[in-house]
């Protein structure tokens, strides 16, 4: 019988996202995320009733203060309580100013699981729980890290000290001891040699470190021990910490470079996937809705882990009462809504959706309250209409934002269907689509303009890419967009990897796999040629040397291990292998043998996996699913655990 730690649904994520978003460090100071931070409920009550056939004992483990109320009588926490046969009403009061108020209840029938209700004295809802927290001795205010000891790959004396290369990115603790207990050295960390050896500008520095002092958890590949010599060092290693979300896919083809791109993408992705999808391990270490949105696309091809998405969705959203857009960004709120449809289509967990529903509807109400007379969403003071770091005409309501609102309506329409809730979104999305096409489409230019209010009729790729991705344009206009924008070199190119994801996804949607293929090698292959062991926040082939590490006006401002750069996994999986989950037990397949004529690949589907072996135009498919369906071209094939399927392509 399942037994879990339980808490106020959503609060685990609020609690730990705060830890996460407060963990950024730069040059000796801390940098908590610069947005409003919701707090967990410090005072809650867990509720359940049972009808017991016989007397039993139960035990409530908790670090909170409070008590157990059983049929009106009160007992302390953390002791055995005897309960007579018959009907029993249990309330567990738990409050804390520092830990997550949570309880673990063990007993024959009386046990903590998702059947408990929890109240914050405002509303009573099903309790939250996680498959990561099933041990009463391991409290949910701690993070369930696994760890791995990493030995240096190289130790070299430099003129100013000793440089240690771990040969890989580490997010954890450095362990170093010197022969002389009284010796003290500065330790400089770096994702690159240049950073570690730049004792002024490296991000992380431990000053005057001597044996036995604690060293803060950091992300690094290199450590430079300033003024030390090889002889000073007694031992050195690092403890990498990670939340063990298993990698359930693999990919191997006859193209070695492509294999490397896959592997380094997986490495990058794993590092940026802890309790939540974060942006990067050195910087920002924050949970950003736009970045997470892209991580959700990669997840089905690596972990297919439902819970990391749930945690990230909840962490981003915070408390039910919403007061600010996610990360202050209007588009990030809309992407959050859209992502829930994607999540549901992938994992179909209606219990989760039901629990999340009040937060979804509150989000939509929040967005609806900031529409103009045309029904277009606009920013309120202090809202950030981001879309991308690009020259864009942001006068009045802008096109790209409206397309996201349309997509959010479409997602809501789908979700209302799942929830069997009243659906006002079909009408809303139809009306908005018409308005967008009326106000933003420019017949002369054959494309959507950024803003109709300014009169400038400026065109960027962004709104047009979204229009393709979210199918707002209709066939004819989409053709025009492809010609006039997507494949038109006169329109300013996408310069950020954030939006490159959407662009490549749009190119995939219109079947331009050749462009995806070439980008994989020029962009990601380019980083590999520069020695990348994880993919960078951004790569510009035109810069030289240490310039690669600079960003935001900072010589080492660039994160060299950044989640959104792991997207080759998605592009390979979705567009080259061409597999897409349609339902928890069915996939569609459209492998592109013009690029990949020989590969072996394992991909997760739900709790199971599907394996593909491609050789000589024959694709052999096996699965651990008992039964499933595979759609290839216009046919549906039965998948079966006990037999492999071979297709002639």
Residue numbers of the site for its own copies (CB under 8 A)? 15, 18-19, 22, 26-37, 39-43, 45, 65-68, 74-77, 93, 95, 97-98, 120-122, 321, 323-324, 328
Tell me which residue has tokens 């803003």: 451
Backbone torsions φ then ψ of 546, nearest 5 degrees: -70, -10
CB atoms within 10 A of CB 114: 14
Minimum CB distance to its own copies smaller for 66 or for 573: 66
Rounded CA-CA distance 191/559 in Å is 8
Residues 227, 172 contacting (CB under 8 angstroms): no
User: For the range 462-465, what are the long-range contacts, defined as Cβ-Cβ under 8 Å and sequence gap of 24 or more?
Assistant: 462/387, 462/388, 462/390, 462/392, 462/399, 462/400, 462/494, 462/499, 462/502, 463/398, 463/399, 463/400, 463/403, 465/494, 465/499, 465/502, 465/503, 465/506
CB of 108 vs its own copies, minimal distance in Å? 23
We find the least distance from the C-beta atom of residue 122 to its own copies, in angstroms, to be 5
Question: What is the spatial distance between Cα 370 and Cα 381, in angstroms, rounded to a whole number?
Answer: 11
Output the smallest distance, CB 4 to its own copies, in A: 23
Of 19 and 530, CB closest to its own copies:
19
The CA distance from 89 to 211, in Å, is 55
Shortest distance, position 308 Cβ to its own copies, whole Å: 22
Q: How far is the CB of 43 from its own copies (least distance, A)?
A: 4
Closer CB to its own copies, 39 or 644, in the complex: 39
DSSP states of 111-146 as a string? --STT-EEE-SS-EEEPB--TT---TTS-TTS--EE
Q: What letter would DSSP give residue 364?
A: H
Min. distance of Cβ 214 from its own copies in angstroms?
16
Q: In this structure, what token pair is assigned to residue 107?
A: 């007993």
Q: Which helix (H) or strand (E) holds 516?
A: helix 513-519
Q: Minimum CB separation from its own copies for residue 286, in Å? A: 12
Please give the Cα distance from 617 to 612 (Å, whole number): 12
The smaller minimum CB distance to its own copies, of residues 322 and 340, is found at 322
Provide, rounded to whole angstroms, the least separation between the CB of residue 304 and its own copies: 32
Please say whether the beta carbons of 230 and 204 come within 8 A: no
Residue with tokens 């339980």: 6
| d(C-alpha 523, C-alpha 248), whole Å | 26
Rounded to a whole number of angstroms, the minimum distance from the CB of residue 21 to its own copies is 8
Among candidates 501, 467, 468, which has minimal Cα distance to 297? Answer: 501
C-beta of 273 vs 327, nearer to its own copies: 327
- Of 266 and 367, nearer to its own copies (C-beta) is 367
- Sign of CA pseudo-dihedral 5, 7, 12, 13: positive
Q: Which is nearer to its own copies, 323 or 420 (CB)?
A: 323
The token pair that represents 58 in the structure block:
């139960």
For residues 94 and 532, which CB has a smaller minimum distance to its own copies in the complex?
Answer: 94
In angstroms, rounded to a whole number, what is the distance separating the alpha carbons of residues 327 and 457? 29
Task: Output the smallest distance, CB 1 to its own copies, in A.
Answer: 27
Smaller CB separation from its own copies, 37 or 211: 37
Looking at the Cβ atoms of 67 and 252, the one nearer to its own copies is: 67
């Amino acid at each position: 019988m399942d037994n879990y730690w339980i808490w106020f649904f959503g609060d685990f994520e609020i609690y730990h996202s705060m830890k996460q978003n407060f963990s950024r460090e730069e040059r000796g100071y801390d940098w908590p995320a610069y947005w409003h931070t919701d707090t967990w409920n410090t005072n809650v009550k867990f509720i359940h009733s049972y009808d017991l056939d016989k007397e039993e004992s139960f035990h409530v483990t908790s670090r909170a203060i409070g008590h157990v109320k059983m049929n009106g009588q009160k007992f302390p926490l953390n002791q055995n309580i005897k309960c007579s046969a018959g009907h029993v009403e249990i309330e567990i009061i738990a409050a804390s100013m520092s830990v997550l108020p949570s309880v673990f209840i063990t007993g024959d029938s009386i046990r903590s699981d998702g059947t408990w209700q929890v109240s914050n004295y405002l509303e009573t809802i099903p309790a939250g729980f996680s498959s990561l927290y099933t041990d009463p001795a391991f409290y949910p205010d701690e993070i369930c890290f696994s760890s791995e000891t990493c030995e240096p790959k190289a130790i070299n004396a430099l003129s100013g000290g000793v440089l240690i290369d771990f040969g890989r990115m580490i997010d954890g603790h450095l362990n170093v001891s010197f022969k002389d207990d009284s010796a003290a050295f500065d330790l400089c960390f770096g994702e690159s040699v240049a950073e570690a050896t730049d004792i002024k500008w490296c991000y992380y520095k431990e000053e005057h470190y001597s044996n036995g002092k604690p060293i803060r958890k950091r992300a690094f590949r290199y450590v430079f021990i300033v003024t030390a010599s090889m002889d000073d060092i007694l031992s050195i290693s690092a403890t990498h910490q990670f939340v063990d979300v298993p990698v359930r896919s693999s990919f191997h083809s006859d193209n070695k470079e492509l294999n490397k791109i896959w592997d380094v993408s997986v490495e990058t992705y794993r590092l940026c996937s802890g309790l939540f999808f974060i942006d990067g391990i050195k910087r920002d270490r924050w949970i950003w809705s736009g970045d997470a949105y892209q991580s959700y696309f990669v997840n089905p091809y690596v972990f297919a882990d439902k819970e990391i998405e749930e945690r990230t969705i909840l962490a981003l959203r915070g408390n039910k009462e919403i007061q600010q857009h996610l990360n202050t960004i209007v588009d990030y709120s809309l992407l959050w809504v859209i992502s829930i449809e994607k999540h549901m289509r992938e994992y179909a967990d209606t219990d989760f959706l039901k629990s999340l529903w009040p937060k979804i509807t509150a989000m939509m109400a929040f967005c609806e309250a900031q529409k103009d007379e045309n029904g277009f969403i606009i920013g309120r003071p202090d809202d950030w209409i981001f879309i991308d770091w690009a020259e864009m005409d942001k006068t009045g309501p802008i096109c790209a934002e409206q397309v996201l609102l349309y997509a959010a309506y479409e997602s809501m329409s789908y979700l209302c269907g799942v929830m069997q809730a009243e659906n006002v979104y079909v009408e809303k999305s139809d009306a908005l689509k018409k308005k967008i096409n009326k106000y933003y489409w420019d017949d002369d230019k054959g494309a959507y303009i950024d803003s109709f209010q300014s009169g400038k009729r400026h065109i960027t790729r962004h709104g047009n890419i979204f229009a393709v991705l979210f199918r707002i344009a209709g066939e004819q206009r989409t053709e025009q967009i492809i010609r006039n924008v997507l494949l038109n070199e006169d329109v300013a190119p996408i310069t950020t990897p954030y939006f490159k994801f959407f662009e490549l996804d749009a190119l995939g949607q219109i079947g331009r796999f050749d462009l995806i293929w070439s980008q994989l090698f020029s962009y990601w292959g380019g980083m590999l040629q520069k020695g990348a062991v994880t993919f960078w926040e951004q790569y510009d082939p035109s810069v030289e040397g240490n310039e690669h590490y600079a960003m935001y006006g900072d010589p080492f401002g660039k994160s060299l291990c950044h989640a959104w750069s792991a997207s080759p996994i998605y592009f390979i999986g979705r567009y080259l292998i061409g597999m897409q989950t349609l339902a928890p037990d069915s996939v569609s397949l459209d492998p592109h043998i013009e690029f990949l004529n020989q590969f072996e690949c394992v991909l997760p589907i739900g709790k199971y996996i599907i394996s593909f072996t491609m050789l000589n135009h024959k694709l052999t498919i096996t699965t651990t699913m008992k039964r499933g369906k595979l759609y290839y071209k216009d046919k549906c094939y039965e998948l079966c655990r006990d037999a492999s399927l071979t297709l002639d392509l």
